[in-house]
Chain A
């Protein structure tokens, strides 16, 4: 399928959704318009609200806060995940001893931690960073752990035959292998960092996109909620785009997934 046709089809899906939404809320087809508009708002109102948010400059502060929380959660989570993933992969005993605890901690729904973090770190950005950290950490940890343990034994034997000592093996073999796995989970982990930030804001804060949505929700301002969601989506798409660029730059040595799945 050529690219133009694909884009046209994608736009068509979006437009028909908006048209359907518009038709159902602007005309009394299923229910009186007053009622449908209260529950679903209208696409034009939502767009107007999004525009107003950006035009008034009000939203930038919130976007900035959410971005900072996301980046901090990602940085700490990835850093911790790499460190412990490495350590556990290289120390069998440590991994074996902590295995049940790590599984238990990972199985815990992170949302229940949000009130605790709010208590510990206050309502500022750090409680959100902590929540994002608990999400990102485990993704990166498991990926790095796997990556280091599954380094090709032939590549390893070859590197050792080249005379590499432990430090050089770490630098030239283990580290790149671990990073590869981390980057392959980059989309997921950045996404979860954002989820942590937004959920944290939603549950208690005074700024950020999650706060905006929560604020609108608490006064039954459906237009405001949808506008917040639209802005959040745009934000996510932009972040994802940046991640894709970074990934392409860093994983340049990898074969294209379509021709060969193995790295």
Chain B
């Protein structure tokens, strides 16, 4: 570590947040290789991506292009083999404590009720049990599950479980939201409802969002900026498109606007060849 970097870090720990201008997430020439550096599988490389505080970024790309890998690197779950990850201007060491993560798979603790699952998220912050439960109740109400607080995850539908997970993430009030195809396993209607719920909650308290999806329409409807990735291996970012749609948006209605079609066409032009490439690769493999 250079002296200036060390100094920066020390300063940051005293004055948090460092500066309002520092990007919430900044990936600089990040590469991630699994296995050995030589002969390993390079998932992504030469990734440069910044997310400003309050910015909603959607990352789209063909299956297996390493979209989730980028999120894991931003979360600190995965250490990049090359390049730097900075969170609000400070290099990331270990887990990213300022981020919340919404997983694609079920990540709730199956032995805890909805209420316990949400309340337990405040325990690491040292919130008292009683206060945590009161807040958890309030969050479950906000995601529309007031009547289901005492249900265990297996008694809830897929959409309801995602709502609990959303409440669990948001109750900690993280400054960065990382979402890995969170609505992927849900049916079309539930996805729309969840998308609108997410936009409502986000509009009330804007955080930087990295939202990974394979659904381009979902990406455009939700995001301020759509980042397109190329097909893996060694995937990179091949385009970034600002979404010129006004907010507040309704996921279902925004799709009917001419501007939506325009941007969709533009992004799809760059995405299509990558999807075809990935598909051609997949012909040989199982997926």
Residues of A within 8 A of B123 (CB): 164, 168, 172
Residues of B within 8 A of A10 (CB): none
Please report the C-alpha to C-alpha distance between residue A168 and residue B125 in the assembled complex, in whole angstroms: 12
Residues of B within 8 A of A157 (CB): 77, 101, 103, 107
Please tell me the number of chain A residues within 8 Å of chain B, measured between CB atoms: 24
Please tell me if the beta carbons of B109 and A159 are within 8 angstroms of each other in the complex: yes
Residues of B within 8 A of A255 (CB): 154-155
Please report the C-alpha to C-alpha distance between residue A173 and residue B109 in the assembled complex, in whole angstroms: 7
Please tell me if the beta carbons of A161 and B106 are within 8 angstroms of each other in the complex: no
Query: Could you give, for residues 14-48 of chain A, a 1 whenever the CB lies within 8 Å of some chain B CB and a 0 otherwise?
Result: 00000000000000000000000000000000000
Please report the C-alpha to C-alpha distance between residue A163 and residue B121 in the assembled complex, in whole angstroms: 8
Give the segment of B20-28, B92-100, B263-271 that binds chain A.
B92-100
Please report the C-alpha to C-alpha distance between residue A168 and residue B109 in the assembled complex, in whole angstroms: 13
The minimal Cβ–Cβ distance linking A179 to chain B, given in whole angstroms, is 8
CB contacts under 8 Å to B, within A229-263, are 252-255, 260, 263
Please tell me if the beta carbons of B109 and A154 are within 8 angstroms of each other in the complex: no
Tell which of B106, B109, B112, B125 touches A163, judged by Cβ atoms closer than 8 Å. B125
The minimal Cβ–Cβ distance linking B286 to chain A, given in whole angstroms, is 21
Please tell me if the beta carbons of B101 and A155 are within 8 angstroms of each other in the complex: no
Please tell me if the beta carbons of A263 and B101 are within 8 angstroms of each other in the complex: no
Q: Does B9 contact A (CB under 8 A)?
A: no
Please report the C-alpha to C-alpha distance between residue A66 and residue B224 in the assembled complex, in whole angstroms: 71
Please tell me if the beta carbons of B112 and A162 are within 8 angstroms of each other in the complex: no
Q: Does B185 contact A (CB under 8 A)?
A: no
Please report the C-alpha to C-alpha distance between residue A172 and residue B97 in the assembled complex, in whole angstroms: 19
Residues of B within 8 A of A180 (CB): 111
Tell which of B100, B112, B168, B172 touches A253, judged by Cβ atoms closer than 8 Å. B112
Q: Does A106 contact B (CB under 8 A)?
A: no
Please report the C-alpha to C-alpha distance between residue A157 and residue B108 in the assembled complex, in whole angstroms: 11
The minimal Cβ–Cβ distance linking A262 to chain B, given in whole angstroms, is 9
Residues of B within 8 A of A176 (CB): 109, 111-112
B116 nearest CB neighbor, chain A only: A172
Please report the C-alpha to C-alpha distance between residue A157 and residue B109 in the assembled complex, in whole angstroms: 11
Please tell me if the beta carbons of B110 and A253 are within 8 angstroms of each other in the complex: yes
Q: Does B120 contact A (CB under 8 A)?
A: yes
Please report the C-alpha to C-alpha distance between residue A162 and residue B125 in the assembled complex, in whole angstroms: 9
CB contacts under 8 Å to A, within B94-138, are 95, 97, 99-101, 103, 105-113, 120-121, 123-125
Q: Does B148 contact A (CB under 8 A)?
A: no
Residues of A within 8 A of B103 (CB): 154, 157-158
B113 nearest CB neighbor, chain A only: A253
Q: Does A184 contact B (CB under 8 A)?
A: no
Residues of A within 8 A of B90 (CB): none
Given A157-B101, A253-B110, A162-B95 contact (CB < 8 Å): no
Q: Does A206 contact B (CB under 8 A)?
A: no
Please report the C-alpha to C-alpha distance between residue A120 and residue B109 in the assembled complex, in whole angstroms: 45
Q: Does A90 contact B (CB under 8 A)?
A: no
Q: Does B254 contact A (CB under 8 A)?
A: no
B95 nearest CB neighbor, chain A only: A160
Please tell me if the beta carbons of A172 and B120 are within 8 angstroms of each other in the complex: yes
Residues of B within 8 A of A177 (CB): 111
Residues of A within 8 A of B154 (CB): 253-255, 260
Given A157-B77, A161-B100, A172-B120, A263-B95 contact (CB < 8 Å): no
Please tell me if the beta carbons of A162 and B111 are within 8 angstroms of each other in the complex: no
B99 nearest CB neighbor, chain A only: A161
29 contacts between A and B (CB under 8 A): A152-B107, A154-B103, A154-B107, A155-B107, A155-B108, A157-B77, A157-B101, A157-B107, A158-B103, A158-B165, A159-B109, A161-B77, A162-B172, A163-B97, A163-B121, A163-B125, A163-B172, A164-B123, A164-B124, A165-B124, A172-B109, A173-B109, A177-B111, A252-B152, A253-B111, A253-B154, A254-B110, A255-B155, A263-B110
Residues of chain A whose beta carbon lies under 8 Å from any beta carbon of chain B? 152, 154-155, 157-165, 168, 172-173, 176-177, 180, 252-255, 260, 263
